[in-house]
Structure 1
Amino acid sequence: MSPIKEDPINEIDELDSILNTMAQNIIRTSYSRDKTFSNIQTKCCNTVIEGGISIRSYSEFIQLINSCRVAFVLITTTYCPYCQLFKPVFFRVAREFAGKAVFIEANADYVPEVAETFNVYSTPTTVIIIDKRPIDAILGYIPYNHFKRYVNDIVSYAECGEI
């Protein structure tokens, strides 16, 4: 009795399908364990960042800007009271728009290059970036409802979805 000959192309396709399924399961598992970075891709972001991220280097900033079409960059300083008031609002909205935009907090005391890049001299300042170009900047504290509506408008404008 001769062994059954299988088509090698179908076998490769089947193996590829199995490996893709396994990779998706690994990504989902790592995403549920570590909600900071994942490799899940969406229409507008290569990386889903759950709730935003505080950066500590300019290279980290560049990496995050390159990971998403839309970015909201909150520039703060350590002893700025309005910065401390706005950060919870910023990160709350960031959780709601995860995968549609990246939300970055850059403390100008630690990463002054970010503030210098956008000529920011007052904090808090939120810089909005679409396709690696700054399109707007908002100075000062913004109430939750206004900021959420503004973010929704920007994300819709960039065709990255809306809430």
Structure 2
Amino acid sequence: MLAVNDVTFRNNVRQQGVTLVDFGATWCPPCKVLKPILDELGGDYGEKITVLEVDCDESPHVASEYGIMSMPTVLVFHNGEPVEKLIGLRPKSAYENLLSKYL
């Protein structure tokens, strides 16, 4: 999982393919539980997906741009455009089901 911020966010969202973006914060307990799940997904899917992490406290502009109101929130981008949003902690299977729609 690659940590990005307001400046580096756009350059790291894949223009071709799937990007999962985890919006969270270091103080958020569910975000801490989600991180290893997303790390696992990144390993499972390898080059098929990119997994990014945005700390909403450090990157308020990108969080605001995508209407992030609760953490964790995972956005799925397909070919550079946001297509899905999952709010709150979900089991790994929920993210796998979402990815299967775009891979």
Q: Provide TM-score, normalisation by structure 1.
A: 0.58
Conserved? CA contact 2:15–2:80, under 8 Å: no
What is the CA-CA distance between 1:60 and the residue it aligns to? 1.7
SS of the equivalent of 2:48 reads coil
Q: Tell me what 1:63 maps to.
A: 11
Conserved? CA contact 1:82–1:124, under 8 Å: yes
Q: Tell me what 1:29 maps to.
A: none
Q: Work out which of the residue numbers 31, 53, 56 in structure 2 matches 1:105.
A: 53
**Structure that is richer in strand per residue:** 2
CA RMSD in angstroms, aligned pairs only: 1.6
For 2:48, give the aligned amino acid: K
What is the CA-CA distance between 1:62 and the residue it aligns to? 1.0
Q: Tell me what 1:127 maps to.
A: 75
What is the CA-CA distance between 1:66 and the residue it aligns to? 4.1
* CA displacement, residues 64-123 of structure 1 (integer Å, 9 cap, x when unaligned): 114543111110012111111111101110111121111101010111122111101100
Q: Tell me what 1:54 maps to.
A: 3
Q: Mind listing any 5+ residue stretches in structure 1 that lack a counterpart?
A: 1-51, 157-163
Partners of 1:128 and 1:147 lie apart in 2 by 9
1:79 to 2:35 alignment? no
Percent identity over the alignment is 20
SS of the equivalent of 2:7 reads helix
Partners of 2:79 and 2:21 lie apart in 1 by 13
Greater relative contact order, per chain length (Cα 8 Å cut-off, separation 6+): 2
